[in-house]
Amino acid sequence: MENLWKNNLRKIEPYVPGEQSKEQNIVKLNANENPYPPSPKAIEALNSFNCNSLRLYPDANASKLKQALADYYNVTPKNIFVGNGSDDVIAIAFQSFFNGKLPIVYPDLTYSFYPVWCSLFNIPYKTYPVGEDFRINPDDYKEANGGVVIPNPNAPTSIGEGLDFVEKIMNYNRDSVVIIDEAYVDFGGVSSVELTKKYENLLVTGTFSKSRSLAGLRLGFAIGSESLITVMEAVKNSYNSYTVDSLAMEMGTASILDREYFDSTCKKIIATRERVTKEMRSLGFTVLDSSANFIFATRDDLSIKDMFEYLKARKVFIRYFSLPRIDNYVRISIGTDEEMDIFLTELRGYLKK
């Protein structure tokens, strides 16, 4: 008779978020964060914000932010959805679009949150293995399914695909909604936003956390046909009408408007990535061609886990996944040139051991 209420508690495998060390003076290359600060115009927007207005609820429709995104991406505000980080946006997309009986499909190596949302929302799913070269084969996605999710560039592989790839996926999938998760696209990937005008069932998602250096603000968005966005708005308004706070809207808008700073920091990260890739290859590593703000690397004759632990002990944090197929790889976020020099120095130290 005791504690019968416990029977109705949600049974769920707790998802453990990535390790965030509180240590000082570490080189933090483990969360794909941007090493550069947000746009000075975004900071100025915060500094000139009328704090007294925080007593009022935010604009539930986020009109100003949607307009800035619409102008940037050459769509209309009705094609834009904004949320509390792209995790919030994609989770709402899953609830909005994946209500069929067939499993949704995505690559076996990809963002680890997809199966977590499937479990939370009781969505059946199936994965297709990426190739030996870690590339996604679009022909795998011919089979009837309940939906498709593909990050482009993919994580943790860092590989980006072109519009021909996305068009193939779209042509195979006229009967389900396709989500292209573009969290990393601004670092040299190719965006499918223009294709949302051609395919009513294509949703493209993005985030302010990577290329816009605003991970701490929680801001993400989706772009798609009005048919798709309307359903997402209905689901959002049934859950929490005010997901995006007033400060995030102001800073996000200013960040989108500051194209120059955005271009310059993305270019810096790309240049650093190319340099580090070259140096690691010269040290005997296999480094996949990256279109993201991180690289994915291995060296067959090393225990990469051991290398990861060595670097961690020396306060250089990179990301190791104890997962099938990639348990001898590491993911290294691209920091500043100075941070990457420390990383390379420690790496050379490990190799000389």
Q: Which of residues 243-282 bind a copy of itself (CB under 8 A)?
A: 243-248, 251
What is the footprint of a copy of itself within residues 161-180 (CB under 8 A)? 174-177
| Contacting a copy of itself within 44-83 (CB under 8 A) | 46-47, 49, 51-60
Q: How far is the CB of 339 from a copy of itself (least distance, A)?
A: 13
Q: Which is nearer to a copy of itself, 72 or 113 (CB)?
A: 113
- Choose between 76 and 238: whose C-beta lies nearer to a copy of itself: 238
Contact pattern for a copy of itself over residues 88 through 117, marking x by CB under 8 A: x--x---xxxxxx---------------xx
Q: Binding marks (x or -) toward a copy of itself, 186..225, rule CB under 8 A?
A: --------------xx-------x---xxxxxx-------
Q: Give me the least distance between CB of 136 and a copy of itself, in Å please.
A: 21
Q: Among residues 242 and 310, whose Cβ is nearest to a copy of itself?
A: 242
Cβ proximity of 217 and 192 under 8 Å: no
Q: What is the CA radius of gyration of the chain?
A: 21
Instruction: Name the minimum Å distance from CB 56 to a copy of itself.
Output: 5
Count of residues binding a copy of itself (CB under 8 A)? Answer: 86
Q: Interface with a copy of itself includes 8 (CB under 8 A)?
A: yes
State the minimum distance, in angstroms, from the CB of residue 70 to a copy of itself: 19
Q: Which is nearer to a copy of itself, 35 or 107 (CB)?
A: 35
According to CB under 8 A, which residues from 15 to 34 bind a copy of itself?
15-17, 20, 28, 31, 33-34
Interface positions, 136-155, toward a copy of itself (CB under 8 A) = 146-147
Rule CB under 8 A: say whether 43 interacts with a copy of itself. yes
Subset of residues 284 to 303 that bind a copy of itself, contact rule: CB under 8 A: none
Q: How far is the CB of 266 from a copy of itself (least distance, A)?
A: 13
Among 36, 310, 321, 350, binds a copy of itself (CB under 8 A): 36
Tokens 């690691």 -> residue: 280
Residue from 21, 74, 171, 227 binding a copy of itself (CB under 8 A): 227
CA-to-CA dists, residue 24 to 20, 90, 245, 312, 341, angstroms: 11, 33, 30, 13, 18
* Structure tokens that stand for 5 in this block: 């209420």
Among positions 6, 164, 324, 353, the unique one binding a copy of itself when judged by CB under 8 A = 6
